[in-house]
Amino acid sequence: MQLARFARRRYTPFWTPLEPLPNLSAALAGPELWIKRDDMLGLASGGNKTRKLEFLVAEALAQGADTLITVGAVQSNHCRLTLAAARREGLQCQLVLEERVAGSYREDASGNNLLFRLMGVERIEVVPAGTDLAAAMQRLADDLGEQGRRAYLIPGGGSNALGALGYVACADELLAQTFDLGLRLDHVVVASGSGGTHAGLVAGLHAAQAGLPITGVSVRAEQAPQEAKILALADEVLALAGAEVGVPAAAVMVEDAHVGPGYSLPTDAMVEAIQLFARYEGILLDPVYTGKTAAGLIALVRSGRFAAGERVLLVHTGGSPALYAYQDVVLQDLQG
Ligand SMILES: *Cc1c(COP(=O)(O)O)cnc(C)c1O
């Protein structure tokens, strides 16, 4: 695969750090834990959507778009980063926000919502859960079309095959970086939501025949539908990249025990994971994605899933701005 065949904007001028987590590893007395700091990617406050937007925005510009339209939850990191990319490129940005939890949108909310307003979102359309989101975006695009403007639509999470190329690129980066460090990894753990991140990594690691298993921790869907979605998207991204291989179903593993009562709703294990990473390593996770993903990693470690001496990598996909919209939750029962 030659990813250089694709138009790409650059929003991060370096490889994200690959760091050990010595204090947390010692505290859990399990395998050696490592972290890939994709929370340090470029654009406002970083996070995984930046890698996808490098490919998506390049296509928007090639098509002559003047406005990016996308969709997400009320505290969407993806919406924040799409807006930031739009600003960087001199484009406008309109957002469809889905109230996955009824009544959860507040115009004066902190976190990502504050940043939507600070970066000058042109229009926000709040819709109830279950709305046809593609149709809602198309309505905004049609309005713009009537004014002689041209919109580029980005699906939720930037998770189509083009966006997922960002995580094929991340798999390549990770393998080059581990080779550079002489670091053999045994397992990767990552959040699995709209799926472009998980699917891109599966596709990239499989195409490279890396022999590095990856577990996706679901933040919303149950295991079977999420695995089917990831497998389909991984195959689609490999086909787009021109690979002559498909992904075997066994390469797609989803753990769904950490969703709790639902997407974005707190769990005790999420709160514990956020507190452990903050206090042992000074690393900020988020309540919606990485907190639940880290809870999944910690549960796997405690269950004895990994041998001592194995090295397990958590891909930190970002999201810390959402912390500021969950103050009371993340400070809950904190000692000292
Ligand atoms: C969107 C998001 C994810 C999930 O990535 P997908 O590609 O949608 O599966 C994980 N972590 C954070 C912080 C996110 O914003």
The DSSP result for 243-301, as a single string, is: -S----GGG-EEE-TT-TTSTT---HHHHHHHHHHHHHH-----TTTHHHHHHHHHHHH
Cβ atoms within 10 Å, residue 282: 8
Residue 217 near ligand 1, beta carbon < 6 Å: no
196 lines ligand 1 (CB under 6 A): yes
Instruction: Give Cα 114 distance to the centre of its chain.
Output: 20
Positions in the chain whose pLDDT score sits under 70:
336
What pLDDT does residue 334 have? 82
Locate the ligand 1 atom nearest the alpha carbon of residue 159 and give its number: 7
Q: Could you tell me if 88 and 11 are in contact, meaning their C-beta atoms sit under 8 angstroms apart?
A: yes
Helices 268-281 and 290-302 sit at what angle, rounded to 10 degrees? Answer: 90
What distance in Å separates the CA atoms of residue 69 and residue 82, rounded to the nearest whole number? Answer: 8
Looking at domain 3-47+160-330, its CATH architecture is: 3-Layer(aba) Sandwich (3.40)
59 exposure class (CB count in 10 Å sphere: 0-12, 13-18, 19+): middle
Indicate the SS3 state at residue 188. Answer: strand
Catalytic positions, written as ranges: 76
Domain 49-158 matching CATH 3.40.50.1100: the answer reads yes
Q: Cα of 145 to ligand 1 centre, how many Å? A: 30
CA of 244 relative to ligand 1 center, distance in Å: 28
Treating both helix axes as pointing N-terminal to C-terminal, what angle do 49-62 and 161-181 enclose, rounded to 10 degrees?
130
Query: CB of 196 within 8 A of CB of 166?
Result: yes
pLDDT at 100: 87
Q: What is the pLDDT of residue 84?
A: 98
Give the SS3 label for residue 32. Answer: strand
Please tell me the total number of residues recorded for the chain in this structure.
336
**Residues near 203 by Cβ (< 8 Å), separated by ≥ 6?**
164, 167, 168, 171, 234, 235, 237, 238, 241, 243, 247
Q: Where are the domains of the chain?
A: 3-47+160-330, 49-158
The predicted-structure confidence for 94-134, as pLDDT tens digits, reads as follows 999 999 888 999 999 999 999 999 999 999 999 999 999 99
Q: What is the pLDDT of residues 279-325, one digit of tens each?
A: 999 999 999 999 999 999 999 999 999 999 999 999 999 999 999 99
So what's the pLDDT on residue 336?
Answer: 63
CA distances from 86 to 76, 89, 128, 248, 315 (A): 16, 5, 25, 37, 25
B/e letters for 285-311, b = 16+ CB within 10 Å, e = fewer, are bbbbbbbbbbbbbbbbbeeeebeeebb
Nearest-CA residue for ligand 1 atom 15 is: 77
Asked whether the beta carbons of 170 and 288 are under 8 A apart, the reply is no
The whole-model pTM stands at 0.98
Same fold for the pair 3-47+160-330 and 49-158: yes
* Cα(259) to centroid(ligand 1), Å: 14
Side chain identity at 71, as an amino acid letter?
V
Report the SS3 class of residue 35: strand
Is residue 289 within 6 Å of ligand 1 at its C-beta? yes
- By most ligand atoms within 8 Å of CB, the mutation choice from 40, 77, 189, 255 for ligand 1 is 77
